[in-house]
């Protein structure tokens, strides 16, 4: 069995934030399939997320999405989370489901619409102050569908201006994290399409503004680990939205489509000092359209743990030597040896030694929780997409 002795300290420090929306129903524009036991409110989403942490010890916080997770009292929600052994994390804004934002939100040419979008972010900061959250994550659906539709440069200026107003409002211990995405829902141009644009804006804002890298938001073939290395070099990698994709923004279980890519990304995170570093938040951004949501999230965090273990096992000294003497195939072989190491039996044993189930998927299935929520809950909520 693989010897994990040298890597258990960093492994024990792993924390992956779950998205509240992964527990609601979601789907494609073709159909949202309802699943029995879906949470009826944000409190139940948190209870479900807590199951993931209970069985894996890997997911101590849950990200909220406003207004999908609108509640009367965020201190009650916070208390509920704490009672269930988890905390509330990143607050995600939403300026993509309101008719006013058809032609843009913080980039809109109408100052009234821009102000409405800015005010929404102020409301999100109010929520953060109650939940104790550190990060405000902004993903914008802003963009255009046709060349000439709007002045793409003026939109950059309006974006910079709106972001500066939002940034001014965040507290000393809070951060603004700007996510990029190269297309969708806009198809001609997106106002924050790539890491460079997010970097340019967050660098202009200041030290408490960072880039969020969603692994599903790049053109096929993009070398994501290079972006990770570059952002870590620049001190601007704030967070990850992990998921996997075959074609577009599929939001599938992380590591499902391409575990090797996840390994390569995690290797660069570790190499660049971004692992178990509070400045680089590991989050999931996934939807479970056809599979059960809680086991879907358990599988996801285990995939991240497994690829992290493999990346931590890279013989970095030997790799450095091979690289220094130009041993192309030797260096590649050292990286591949770690990638091909089956760490699952050793991880199961290590989990048990820490009082966790060796097989969290099995433990959840045997716990009776799924049957209980399916019997108790009727009329669950949409995750938000299409809501």
17 binds ligand PSV (CB under 6 A): no
Minimum gap (Å) between residue 42 Cβ and ligand PSV: 15
- By CB under 6 A, is residue 241 in contact with ligand PSV? yes
Q: Does 181 bind ligand PSV (CB under 6 A)?
A: yes
Question: DSSP string of 295-317?
Answer: HHHHHHHHHHHHHHHHHHTS-HH
Phi, psi of 250 (to 5 degrees): -70, -25
Q: Nearest distance from residue 368's CB to ligand PSV, in Å?
A: 31
Between 57 and 285, CB nearer to Mn ion: 285
Please identify the residue of the shown chain whose CB is closest to the bound ligand PSV. Answer: 139
Based on the shown chain and the rule CB under 6 A, indicate whether residue 69 belongs to the binding site for ligand PSV: no
- 341 vs 308: CA distance, rounded Å: 12
- Find the radius of gyration of the CA atoms of the chain: 21
Q: Does residue number 179 form part of the binding site for ligand PSV (CB under 6 A)?
A: yes
Q: How far apart are alpha carbons 375 and 364 in whole angstroms?
A: 16
Owner of token pair 């409405």: 116
Q: Which is nearer to ligand PSV, 43 or 96 (CB)?
A: 96
The site string for ligand PSV over 120-159 (x = CB under 6 A, - otherwise) reads -------------------x--------------------
Footprint of ligand PSV on 201-230 (CB under 6 A)? 214
CA–CA gap between residue 159 and residue 178 (Å, rounded): 11
CA 18, CA 46: separation in Å to the nearest integer? 10
Residues 88-127 that bind ligand PSV (CB under 6 A): 92
Q: Of Mn ion, ligand PSV, none, which one does residue 201 interact with (CB within 5 to 8 Å by kind)? A: none
Question: Quick one: tokens of 280?
Answer: 């680089």
Residue 92 binding result from ligand PSV, Mn ion, none, given CB thresholds of 5 to 8 Å by partner type: ligand PSV
The distance in angstroms from the start CA to the end CA of the chain is: 48
Closest CA to 15 of 272, 286, 266, 283: 283
285 lines the binding site for ligand PSV (CB under 6 A): yes
Query: 309 — phi, psi (to 5°)?
Result: -60, -45
Residue 311 has a CB neighbour count (10 Å cut-off) of: 24
- 108/245 with CB nearer ligand PSV: 245
- For the bound state, the minimum distance from the C-beta of residue 199 to ligand PSV, rounded and expressed in Å, comes to 17
Quote the least distance from Cβ 181 to ligand PSV, whole Å.
5
With binding defined as CB under 6 A, does residue 249 bind ligand PSV? Answer: yes
User: Closest separation between CB of residue 144 and ligand PSV, Å?
Assistant: 17
Which are the contacts of 245, defined by CB distance < 8 A and separation ≥ 6?
215, 216, 251, 252, 257
Could you give the CA distance from residue 49 to residue 196 in angstroms, rounded to a whole number? 33
Q: Which residues bind ligand PSV (CB under 6 A)?
A: 92, 139, 179, 181, 214, 241, 249, 285
């Amino acid at each position: 069995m693989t010897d994990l002795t040298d890597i258990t300290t960093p492994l024990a420090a792993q924390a992956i934030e779950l998205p509240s929306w992964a527990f609601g129903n979601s789907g494609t524009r073709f159909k949202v399939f309802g699943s029995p036991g879906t949470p009826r409110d944000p409190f139940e989403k948190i209870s479900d997320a807590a199951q993931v942490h209970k069985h894996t010890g890997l997911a101590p916080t849950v990200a909220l999405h406003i207004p999908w997770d609108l509640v009367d009292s965020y201190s009650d929600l916070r208390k509920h989370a704490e009672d269930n052994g988890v905390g509330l994390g990143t607050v995600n804004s939403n300026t993509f489901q309101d008719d006013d934002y058809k032609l843009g939100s913080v980039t809109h040419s109408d100052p009234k619409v821009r102000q409405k979008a800015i005010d929404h972010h102020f409301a999100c900061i109010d929520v953060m102050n109650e939940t104790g959250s550190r990060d405000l994550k902004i993903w914008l659906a802003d963009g255009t569908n046709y060349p000439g539709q709007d002045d793409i440069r003026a939109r950059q200026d309006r974006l910079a201006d709106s972001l500066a107003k939002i940034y001014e409002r965040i507290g000393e211990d809070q951060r603004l994290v700007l996510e990029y995405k190269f297309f969708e829902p806009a198809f001609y141009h997106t106002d924050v399409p790539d890491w460079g644009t997010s970097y340019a804006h967050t660098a202009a804002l200041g030290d408490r503004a960072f880039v969020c890298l969603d692994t599903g938001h790049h053109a096929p073939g993009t070398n994501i680990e290079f972006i990770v290395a570059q952002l870590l070099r620049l001190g601007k990698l704030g967070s990850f939205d992990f998921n996997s994709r075959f074609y577009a923004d599929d939001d599938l279980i992380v590591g499902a489509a391409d575990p090797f890519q996840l390994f390569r990304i995690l290797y660069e995170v570790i190499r660049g000092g971004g692992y178990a570093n509070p400045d680089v938040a590991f989050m999931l951004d996934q939807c479970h359209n056809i599979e059960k949501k809680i086991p879907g999230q358990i599988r996801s965090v285990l995939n991240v743990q497994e690829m992290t273990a493999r990346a931590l096992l890279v013989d970095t000294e030997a790799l450095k030597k091979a690289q220094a003497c130009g041993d192309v195939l030797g260096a590649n072989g050292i990286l591949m040896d770690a990638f091909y190491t089956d760490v699952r039996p050793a991880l199961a044993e290590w989990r048990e030694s820490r009082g966790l189930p060796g097989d969290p998927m099995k433990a959840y299935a045997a716990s009776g929780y799924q049957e209980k929520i399916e019997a108790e809950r009727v009329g669950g909520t949409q995750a938000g997409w299409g809501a």
